[in-house]
Amino acid sequence: MELDETDRKILRILQSDARTPFSEIARRIDMSSATVHDRVGRMEDAGVIEGYHAKVNAKAVGYGVSALVGLRVEQGREEDALEQLREIEGVTEIHLTTGEWDVMLKVAAADTDSLRDLMFDRVANMEGFSRSQTMIILGTDYETDGLPI
Amino acid sequence: MELDETDRKILRILQSDARTPFSEIARRIDMSSATVHDRVGRMEDAGVIEGYHAKVNAKAVGYGVSALVGLRVEQGREEDALEQLREIEGVTEIHLTTGEWDVMLKVAAADTDSLRDLMFDRVANMEGFSRSQTMIILGTDYETDGLPI
DNA sequence: GTTGAAAAAATATTGAG
DNA sequence: CTCAATATTTTTTCAAC
């Protein structure tokens, strides 16, 4: 799908606040809200907009520790490994990467004890597991609302 | 702020679809929409809900390559480095981590050329830079809408 | 805290340029 | 594609339990 500058403006607004009323988006980009409605619908259908998500404070819901985890997986066992990783509660992202690690995870856990359980009981025991490195996130300095559009 | 099971149900719904009408949330959790409205407002005020963001397909807006980047920063130059990193367009996350790297970035770029420019011209030239490792994301296997609540 | 009901505002739809 | 007008829904407010 081709996006013009109007579409991009709408995306910028929805990326920073997904609950902005169409009427206000319309005011800001100087078009009617029917047009905004139409364009948003088309971008949703085309998969340009993949969803709308509330960002929840991790600590408020009991997640005190986050980490990035690098994983080496045995050759030929990648699919097995991924399947098991997807089942682990607390694993919020699974990326396949080049470089030192085959897989990079982002995980959330209640505390360090629970992170240890996650890593030792679940990750290290899965089939195809080779080795891992856990990088605990001491703090997130900065996080954009999404992409620079 | 204390969250009860009702709050958590609301968070789950908004995390998976931030534009779900309060009236529908009310139906699903079997309460009035006035209650949902009240609770959402309080969670917003308390910082439990940090925002609502549209998820935009990176390729659709011209970002063909993403990477995780590990960085070593010279002792005592951390603040300088972070300040510069925040200014680099395409850097979408900056985490301070334990382990092999001091800082982990998530970056988005149009293509590998543009990623090279980002890394060589911007990141590698910044003050306090020591060394880095770029892990190109070949694919994202799985990404939850947020935290398991 | 919760609710139903009223008022205000927003979204969805339609038809035409 | 865009718009104005209309119909439908939702959000917001508020008195009352």
Tell me the per-residue pLDDT of A7-47, one tens digit each, with 9 for 90 and over: 999 999 999 999 999 999 999 999 999 999 999 999 999 99
> Protein A34 CA to nucleic acid D8 C1', in Å?
15
Helix (H) or strand (E) holding B4: none
Beta strands of B57-126 (E only): which ranges? 65-73, 91-97, 103-109
Domains and CATH numbers, chain A: 5-45 (1.10.10.10), 59-137 (3.30.70.920)
Contact B96, B105 (CB under 8 A): no
CA angle A125/B104/A129 to nearest 5° reads: 15
Q: What is the overall mean pLDDT for chain B?
A: 97
B25 pLDDT band, cuts 50/70/90, is: very high
Nearest in space to A146 (alpha carbons), one of B69, B68, B13, B57: B57
Please give the nucleotide, over all strands, whose C1' is closest to the CA of residue A20: C10
pLDDT 10s digits, B58-71:
999 999 999 999 99
Contact B77, B127 (CB under 8 A): yes
Please give the nucleotide, over all strands, whose C1' is closest to the CA of residue B36: C2
Helix (H) or strand (E) holding A69: strand A65-73
> Protein B118 CA to nucleic acid D5 C1', in Å?
50
Hunting for tokens 């982002």 — which residue is that?
A106
Kind of pairing between the strands at A129-143 and B91-97: antiparallel
- Residue A149 makes CB contacts below 8 A (sequence gap 6+) with A8, A11, A12, A15, B56, B61
The first and second tokens of residue A62, run together, are 């009991």
Which residues of chain A lie closer than 8 angstroms to B122, CB-CB?
A: none
The first and second tokens of residue A68, run together, are 């990035």
Rounded to two decimals, what is the model's pTM?
A: 0.96
CA distances from A96 to A85, B58, B71, B112, B113 (A): 12, 16, 19, 17, 20
CA distances from A33 to A4, A43, B80, B98 (A): 17, 15, 44, 48
Nearest in space to A44 (alpha carbons), one of B55, B141, B63: B55
pLDDT confidence of residue B141: 95
pLDDT 10s digits, B100-133:
999 999 999 999 999 999 999 999 999 999 999 9
Per-residue DSSP letter, A61: G
pLDDT confidence of residue A121: 98
Nearest in space to B11 (alpha carbons), one of B29, B34, B30, B31: B29
Work out the average pLDDT over B125-149.
Answer: 97
Tell whether the torsion through CA atoms of A18, A144, A147 and B107 is positive or negative. Answer: negative
B58: left (phi over 0), alpha (psi -120 to 50) or beta: alpha
Nearest in space to B66 (alpha carbons), one of B143, B136, B144, B140: B136
Contact B81, A40 (CB under 8 A): no
Q: Is B149 (CB) below 7 Å from strand C?
A: no
Interface probe for B, chosen from A7, A8, A13, A68 (most Cβ of B below 10 Å), is: A68
pLDDT 10s digits, A42-65:
999 999 999 999 999 999 999 999
